[in-house]
Amino acid sequence: MSASQIILYALIALIVFSWIRKALNKRKVKHYDAAEINNKIKTSRDVLLLDVRTNAERKSNHIKGSLHIPLNQLSKRTVELKKFKDKEIVCYCRSGNRSLNAALILQKQGFNAANLKGGITAWNY
């Protein structure tokens, strides 16, 4: 087997591993669609929307009443969320990928975290 074949197989294995890991992580988090979370907000005060997008994205558009902590700062700023320990924190980004990672980070820290399926794009639709 040549070196290029070994590299190719290693790359394929890495991609497959990454895909499986993402699929397994997706199962660990509860996912809401925009209608479900909008309804939940109207009927309950036990929900916090957390915007994990960049500052520039937040300035262009955001969900009213949401808290903003960019994903790259989340691990360092979870202390700001301690007062919301009793609430379900529903993370959102543009399309739902970064917010899935944010929800996983928060779950590891003991928070009740979920993901907004489709992100703010689905919310605005």
Ranges of beta strands (E only) in 1-125 are 30-32, 47-51, 67-68, 88-92, 112-116
Tokens of 112: 């009740």
Q: Which of the following is catalytic: 93, 103, 106, 113?
A: 93
* Token code pair at residue 14: 């890495």
Question: What tokens does 125 get?
Answer: 């639709």
Question: Is residue 93 annotated as part of the catalytic site, yes or no?
Answer: yes
Question: CA 106 to CA 113: how far, in whole Å?
Answer: 6
Nearest 5°: phi and psi at 90?
A: -100, 115
Any idea which residues carry the catalytic annotation? 93
